[in-house]
Structure 1
Amino acid sequence: MSRPKSTNRTAALKLWLKSSRQKKLTEIADELGISPALIRKWKHLDKWDEIPTRRPKGGQPGNKNAVGNSGGPGGPEGNDYAVKHGAYRKFLPQDERFQEILEMARNLDPLDMIWDSVEIAYAKLIDMQTKMYVTDKDEMIKELKKQKFEVVDKGSKEEPNYEQMVTEEEYEFQFSWDRQATDIKAYTVIMRELRSAIKQYLAAAPENDERRLKLELMQAQVNKINADVKILDKQALDEGDKPIEILITRKGERV
């Protein structure tokens, strides 16, 4: 069983810490009436230099962090330390437009937010319908996709005149049935969005919500669009599964 520390050993440490670690060991020894060698031994064994420094409460001398803060409940204007989900705020865009939209979203009722999703998906569906019809089955779009250039000297040896000339062009030909098939795929994605939004809304809305009647009208219109899309889909299949054609020509060749 180890012997307890002597009172002088503990008192020596307290005197040294009380002096902010500035007091000489010989002065401590004189004050306690013991030899300086014994104080040095205690300092080494007890690792005085490794004892962490206690920080005083409050700010350091000269600290002006609290200037202008009279205290009281809450922080100064603009302080957002207590914002709910503030841990994620620093990862969000800080531009004024985004923050304005975010603030508006916070003030929205969750049911209104779902209804907005329904209306947006429905508007996209109607807009898609106006783009899906092809007026001519033989219609073809020729689109320039890529060009290659060479620098050619059109001047003389004495007076060079360098110009950039097109030497090769790459075209993409998209036929009517291919564009129609792409539109139908886009329609399917939008339709999925709309069905999901409607399902969420009906699950959350009360039975007497007047917007349920609007959903019935929407559904009637969607059913009509679905019937039209099935006809278009059949027409696209009848035309055959023909791929987009890509043609590469040298400049000067006829396409």
Structure 2
Amino acid sequence: MARSRNPNRDKAYEIYKDHNGEISPKKISELIGENVNNIRNWKSSDKWDEQLREDTRAGAPKGNQNAKGSKGSPGNVHNYKHGLYTSEDRYTKKNLKRMLPTDVLNLMGELEEESPVDKLWRSILLQEARIIRMQKISHVKNKKDITKELKKVSEGNNYTEEYEIQFAWDKENNNITAQSKAMDTLAKMIEKYDKMIHANWDLVTEEQKLRIEVLKSKLGVKDNNNKSISKLESILAEIKK
């Protein structure tokens, strides 16, 4: 009579797969209460590493319950949760070093020291810089300011060139639309900054509280968008309460 298959054999491999191969036979033996030598033999004879690569390429079948209830080992990148429920503790330096270039890791290390308020403020400054740069690039000199851009060339017996021509009023209209959207985005970012300041009023610095007023004074000179200025005025009024 043939010897029945040890149920721990399949269970051991599932644990190995759930941990993406980053777990020792000794640890598996402790989890399921099996002899560590058996685990090592199963790993070798069943070719777990080859099977793991095949399973990774194929993906788990629909309705697979094998890994249900298994949380994976600490730092296991295949067990990350996503969206609003992501735990930053799961992104260990060991795993990040394998996934990201060194310069990106160094930059992340510097950014970790910033508070959420400072991160948002940096984004506000970047948005303001983009608006200023956009104004310089898209400046319309006068009503005779025409842009002629080559769009298409047809070669052969009948060589032709197709151009796109933008007249001054076209460019000015596009600039106004783009700037209005950019200013609206900036205003929303400032509103969010204001809410974060008020939510942590006792923890933020005076510098952080005064930043919006500094930004408003800059925008008052450069911007003619009354709607955006009105939004900024209302934000400042709330801050001063």
1:188 offset after TM fit, Å?
A: 1.8
- Greater fraction of residues in helix: 2
1:59-208 equivalences under 5 Å are: 59-60=39-40, 80-81=75-76, 84-86=89-91, 94-150=100-156, 167-205=159-197, 206=201
Matches of 2:141 and 2:176, distance apart in 1 = 16
> Are the equivalent residues in 1 in contact too, given 2:140–2:172 (CA < 8 A)?
yes
Q: Unaligned 5+ residue runs, structure 1? A: 1-42, 65-78, 151-164, 231-255
Number of equivalenced pairs: 153
Q: Deviations over 1:128-181 (max 9, x none)?
A: 33334321202211111111112xxxxxxxxxxxxxx77111111111111112
Q: Percent identity?
A: 22
SS in structure 1 of the partner of residue 142 of structure 2: coil
Give the letter aligned to residue 109 of structure 1: S
Which secondary structure does the structure 1 equivalent of 2:141 belong to? coil
Is contact 2:76–2:90 with CA below 8 Å preserved after alignment?
no
Distance 1:51 1:106 in 2: 51
SS at match of 2:148: strand
Which residue does the alignment assign to 1:57? Answer: 35
- Length-normalised TM-score, structure 2: 0.51
Q: Is the 8 A contact 1:140 1:176 kept in 2?
A: yes
The unaligned stretches of length 5 or more in structure 2 are 10-33, 45-73, 78-87, 227-241
DSSP-derived class of the 1:210 partner: helix
Question: Which runs of at least 4 in structure 1 moved beyond 6 Å after TM superposition?
Answer: none
Conserved? CA contact 2:138–2:175, under 8 Å: yes
Q: Which secondary structure does the structure 1 equivalent of 2:40 belong to?
A: coil
Match of residue 155 from structure 1:
none
* RMSD after superposition: 3.6
Tell me the secondary structure at the aligned position of residue 160 of structure 2.
strand
Q: Is the 8 A contact 1:147 1:166 kept in 2?
A: no
CA gap of 1:85–1:192, structure 2 versus 1, over 3 A, is farther
Match of 2:30 in 1: none
Per the TM alignment, residue 200 of structure 1 is displaced from its structure 2 partner at its CA by 1.8
Deviation at 1:80, TM superposition (A): 4.6
For residues 146 and 94 of structure 1, the distance between their equivalents in structure 2, rounded to whole angstroms, comes to: 40
Q: Does the 8 A contact of 2:75 with 2:90 survive in 1?
A: no
Note closer, same or farther for the CA distance 1:54–1:80 as it changes in structure 2 (3 Å cut).
closer
2:215 maps to which residue?
218
When Rg is computed on C-alpha atoms for both structures, the one with the higher figure is 1
